[in-house]
Amino acid sequence: MNSSLPMAVPAGALRPPVERFRGQSRSRLFRADLLGVLAWSSVAFAVALWLADGGAAGFSTLAGSFTALGIVAGLAGMDLVLLMLLLAARLPVIDSAVGHDRALEFHRQLGKPSLYLLLAHGILIAIGYGMAEGLDPFSELVALWVLVPDMWLAIVSSGLFIAVVATSLVAVRRRFPYEFWYAVHLLTYAAVLTAIPHQFSAGGLFAEGTWQRWYWLAACIGTGAALAHYRFLEPLVATVRHRLTVNRVVMEGPGVVSIELAGRHLDELAGNGGRFFIWRFLSPGAWWHPHPFSLSAEPVLFDSSGRGTLRITVRNLGRGSAQLARLKPGTRVAIEGPYGLFSTAARSRNRVVMIGAGIGITPIRALLESTPFDPGNATVILRGHNEAELYLADEILDLCRRRGATLFHVTGARTTGGQSWLPASAVRLGHRLASYAPEIADADVYICGPSAWARSVISEARAAGVREEQLHNERFDW
């Protein structure tokens, strides 16, 4: 293990810690809890509206009970689908409360329940209608297909939902490139569009003049408007407004390059720390690859109009990122973002510990540049197999010296089986996370690196007394 000595801090530079972030943290956690309550309340409200409109009368017979349960399953399932779309819409209110990666995690968790509810809706409706008409469920489905004009759309919608959920399974997802998975997920929009006609025409469930009709019209239109605005309109406006182009490409190490971009109004992108953007480099063969990369440095402004340059640092991790080393100056760039909570917005303590491994060091560098802390109240730990993997190490060293942060370089191979985030040599010496940051239990801890490594760091941070609201992890998986 190689480690630098902590930087000396002049005695006069140390000041009593000022708790600047507790109010900010409480507000963010409150908003996250409120969003959770509103989400689940929307499901209960949808069912309650149906009951208030006379839906409970359906439970008077056995056949009616199956039909009523089918309707409840359909209402709950459709509400969950709309929630899934909102979680993936990159709404600022959601992103600022729970973060982009956690929102997508919730999005994935709702996939199976929503599918099961929609399938249960079809099966229970077929059983209930069939019992009332003396038909078996399969014959009833055939009859509905023939007699109900838009029933085929409902069946197509179910098939599309099955395809989307199936490709979301981790075992399936990792077999395909991101672009394939993303294209399949566009089917979600088609699935919702094909479900809506059936939803409003089946049996007068949402008859004109009822509260149910107004609720579902507002829910569908509101969700569609949010998707159109935040997934399509805002990125288009940002791309046109900032007019980013590739300025130069600089080799930082084997398979690692920094891409400097020039643009305008870049002052609007400053202060984002390790938050990430989605970049599309508009060159042949590369324009259709979305790249989620954080800034590796805050924008450098040339004048008061916001003209200047910014930088991302990327590693060759696949066919798409390998093309970036060959980008030519002048290549235009489309941009979405910024997203995520890997920034000062997530702070809850005055002290801060930043831990990065491999290419995950680059967001740490940007965060170190922008997040506020008193001299002596920040620790930076860079992890790599060797010194060559400590990307931007010289810049980080300079920032630590100027800002009064303690810096450690931790290098070497991990233990057999990778149980610890530390190298084997450090484990043998009995080193732990608290060995580098003794006051970590009273600090915000930012962790960025490969998933398995990050989980090891998080586990050790929890064991050292770090609470959940103090842990901030930038995940690389999609």
Q: How far is CA 354 from CA 74, 161, 174, 278, 444, in A?
A: 46, 40, 29, 23, 8
Six-digit token pair at 138? 């399969």
- How far apart CA 3 and CA 428 sit, in angstroms, is 16
DSSP 3-state assignment of 4?
coil
- Cα-Cα-Cα-Cα torsion 100, 101, 104, 109, nearest 10 degrees, comes to -140
What is the Rg, in whole angstroms, of the alpha carbon atoms belonging to the chain? 26
Pair 432, 442: CB distance under 8 Å: no
- How far apart CA 289 and CA 145 sit, in angstroms, is 40
pLDDT, tens digit only, all 478 positions of the chain = 444 333 333 333 334 344 678 888 889 999 999 999 999 999 999 999 888 888 888 888 999 899 899 989 989 988 998 998 899 899 999 999 998 888 988 988 888 898 889 889 888 988 998 888 888 878 877 777 666 666 666 677 777 777 777 666 654 556 666 666 666 666 677 777 766 666 666 555 666 667 888 888 899 899 999 999 999 999 999 999 999 999 999 988 888 899 999 999 998 876 567 788 999 999 887 777 888 888 898 888 888 878 999 999 998 765 556 678 889 999 999 999 889 889 998 999 999 999 999 889 999 999 999 899 999 999 999 999 989 889 999 999 999 999 999 999 999 987 766 678 998 888 888 899 999 999 999 999 999 998 889 999 999 999 999 999 999 987 654 4
Tell me the DSSP string of 317-382: -SHHHHGGGGPPTT-EEEEEEEESS-SGGG--SSEEEEEEEGGGHHHHHHHHHHS---TTSEEEEE
Q: How far is CA 279 from CA 255, 312, 337, 464, in A?
A: 19, 10, 9, 37
